Chains A and B, each alone.
Chain A
Amino acid sequence: MAASTDVRRRLFVTLIGFGALTFAVMLVAPLAGSTPIHLSRVFERSIPFADNVDAQVFFVARLPRVIAAALVGAGLALSGVVFQGLLRNPLASPDTLGVAAGATLGAMLALTAHADFTLLGISVVPLTSFAGTLGALAIVMAISLARRRGTSSTVLLLAGIAIGALLSAAGRFIQYFADVTDTFKTVQWLLGSLDVGSYAPILASLVPFGIACIGFCMLPRVLDLISLGEDAAEARGVDVVRMERIALVSASLSTGAAVSLGGPVYFVGIIVPHIVRLIVGADHRLVLPASALFGASFLIVCDLIARTIIAPVEMPVGIITAIIGGPFFLWLLFRGR
């Protein structure tokens, strides 16, 4: 009972701490940028929206961008936690099972084929990118279904690497036959961008993110037990194979939604879970919510830096995530030694 109260207290402190950080960052980020805007003008109702540049900078350019960064950061961080816990491998990341490679392949196909259609206000590239995710997920599921009890998680990991390599090779094959201008567009997409410019892709991504979150809610205790070994987990009554499937689907949907929304923003999914574990410990009841909040804050801050540091031009956000995340991670690793 005392232990349970202690966890509840730590969860409360964790949620308050990381929640406050995320709230503060979300509040400040839309106000800062390469263009000076006046908050009073943003909410000035006497100026029609069509003529109000400050309001459009705030509501069309910055706010969707901050929300997208929060979702992508949280989604990638959660996927990273789940893949690292499930595969018991600290190097696992959202792309370990090739889901991000599937999303990339989908985007490349649309860009190279000059596909041009929208569905419910969502443009073709996020749609095909998410379709690529589902394709990769289907392969992962087939492997998971074929996996018998006793097959090590290493097999799943290696299968994932093989799927990722295969899908990446398919992408390069398409690139090889693409026109120079199409190749340039693909390179742009591969750099990742959170400048979504409308709320439609954000709203659409909430569906897979929502389904993934239901799965994530079932996982904290299971991941803790799996970290002791699958046999130990099974001995404590965990249906390992079933929970593994739930974990795979949730993490893959979350990764796919994140990559479709922001492009492949690397590094967040692998580094954030480690940073959070160094702060709150290994208990997944704390690690999962803290990673979601810290991943969101981290990517919002990285994107803020990316869009202001060399203003008026912007830097790809993936460069900032690596530059900030790498040294910070090293500092955390060695600070107590």
Chain B
Amino acid sequence: MSAGLRARGLGLILGLALSLEPVALAQAKRVISVIPSTTEMLFAMGAGDRVIAIGTYDKFPPEAQKLPRVGALVDPNVERILQMRPDLVVVYDTQTELKRRLERANIPYYSYSHQGLGDIFSTIRSLSMRVGVAPAGEALASRLEREIAGIRAKVAGRPRPSTLVVMGREPGSLRNVYASGGVGFLHDMLEAAGGSDSLGDIHRQSVDVSNEMVLARAPEVIIELRYTNEAINAADLDVWNRLPAVPAVRNHRVIVLTGDEFVVPGPRVADAIEKIARAVHPEAFK
């Protein structure tokens, strides 16, 4: 076990120990979440009626959209948050200034961070405990684990095609291409979907990919992620034809997947993995 994993494990144990304190066990009734994934988790575990405000970029679920917005990761509106008198604020781990100010105001917070797929389930479980809906959280996490296990079973035993998951690039060109690397939840999702990450040996969440690297890695499948439901310009995908030696291009396996669930590590993760699995192993879903 690496030092980093040990430290994270210790942090988790400490976090659980802290959550057993009397104050932490109190049910949260006025929750503010400024991170899209935790907002989705709260609604999916049936605690949506306790959420009083969300973050600027929280686009799901639809019933959350009527709630007031109080900034996001880099620009939380602290004054507004304090004014709304929450009894729990869900923040991202790097929001140190927000956490400091919440501490000064004596407002409890739940600090969240994610690295890989497993963090989604552990967060759902610990957040549900913190909010006071532990059975619903457990049910949600277990359901997601079952669904993902089902997808894994469907693609098990099949050859795992080398796959490049492109997270973004300049429109109309193969410039500033960045793709999922060998760590992070997108990498984990691809592995669960039966693909072999063509950048799996690069231990970074996001990798700047040059044209040369695409040619050298020769992925059999290229998945391009788009996060909005704007119409896809077919001509835009033709830019890949500049690299005809790449098997994915030669065999017409450049696939666009649309939806913000690919960048939100939340309860829609099983749907996202299934979309990837259908792209990588279409024959398994016939």
A and B are interacting partners: yes
Chain A residues with CB under 8 Å of chain B are 33-35, 49-53, 56-57, 60-62, 110-111, 114-118, 123-125, 176, 179-181, 184-185, 188-189, 193, 195-198, 201, 307, 312-314, 316
Q: Could you say which residues of chain A place their CB within 8 Å of the CB of B79? A: none
Partner of A188, one of B208, B218, B243: B208
Q: A125-B171, A312-B202 are in contact. Are A62 and B227 (CB under 8 A)?
A: no
A35 touches B172 (CB 8 A): no
A-B pairs with lowest CB-CB distance, top 7:
A123-B172, A61-B212, A50-B244, A123-B173, A61-B211, A35-B216, A116-B171
Give the residues in chain B near A52, CB-CB below 8 Å. Answer: 245
**Interface stretch (choices B24-32, B112-120, B228-236, B267-275):** B228-236
B218-267: which have CB < 8 Å to A?
218, 227-228, 230, 233, 235-236, 239, 242-245, 250, 263
When the two chains form their complex, are residues A116 and B236 in contact, meaning their CB atoms are under 8 A apart? Answer: yes
**Contact A181 B227, CB 8 Å, known A118-B172, A313-B202:** yes
- Contacting A at CB under 8 A, from B162-204, are 167-168, 170-176, 178, 202, 204
Known: A34-B212, A114-B230, A313-B207. A56 touches B175 (CB 8 A): no
A114 and B216 alpha carbons, distance in the complex (Å): 29
Q: How far is the CA of A184 from the CA of B206 in the complex (A)?
A: 11
Is there an interface contact between B176 and A189, defined as CB atoms closer than 8 Å?
yes
Closest to B171 in A: A116
Tell me the bound Cα distance from A125 to B57 in angstroms.
24
A35 x B170 contact (CB < 8 A)? no
Given the known interface contacts A116-B172, A118-B172, A314-B210, the answer about A197 and B227 at a Cβ–Cβ threshold of 8 Å is no
Within 8 Å CB of B230, what residues of A? 114
User: What B residues does A198 contact at CB under 8 A?
Assistant: 173-174, 242
Is B73's beta carbon under 8 Å from chain A? Answer: yes
| Contact call B57/A185, Cβ cutoff below 8 A | no
In the complex, A57→B119 CA distance in Å? 39
Question: Is the C-beta of B213 less than 8 angstroms from some C-beta in chain A?
Answer: yes
Cβ B170 vs Cβ A123 within 8 A: yes
Interface residues in B, total, Cβ within 8 A: 39
Chain B neighbourhood of A307, CB < 8 A: 210, 212
Task: Say yes or no: B243 contacts A195, CB within 8 Å.
Answer: no
Residue from B73, B172, B207, B239 within 8 A of A124 (CB atoms): B172
Q: Is B215's CB within 8 Å of the partner chain A? A: yes
Chain B's closest residue to A116 (CB) is B171
Report chain A residues within 8 Å CB of B243: 56, 60
Check if B210 sits within 8 Å of A53, measured CB to CB: no
* Interchain CB contact under 8 A, B73 and A180: yes
The residue in chain B whose Cβ has the minimal distance to the Cβ of A64 is B211
Q: What's the Cα separation between A176 and B218 when bound, in Å?
A: 37
Give every chain A residue within 8 A of B239 (Cβ-Cβ): 123, 197
Inter-chain CA distance A197–B178, complex, in Å, is 14
Bound form: Cα–Cα A189–B208 in Å: 11
User: How far does the Cβ of B240 sit from chain A's closest Cβ, in whole Å?
Assistant: 10
Known contacts A57-B212, A62-B212, A181-B227: does B242 contact A193 (CB below 8 Å)?
no
Closest to A51 in B: B245
Q: Which of B168, B215, B228 contacts A35 (CB 8 A)?
A: B215
Q: Mark B63-88, 1 if CB is under 8 A from A, else 0.
A: 00000000011010000000000000
A-B contact pairs, 10 of them (CB 8 A): A50-B250, A53-B245, A118-B235, A123-B170, A124-B170, A125-B173, A180-B57, A181-B227, A313-B208, A316-B208
User: What is the bound-complex CA distance between A316 and B170, given in angstroms?
Assistant: 16
Chain A residues in 8 Å Cβ range of B233? 116
Complex-state Cα separation, A150 to B97, whole angstroms: 52
Task: Report whether B173 and A35 are in contact in the complex, using a CB–CB cutoff of 8 Å.
Answer: no
Residues of B within 8 A of A110 (CB): 171
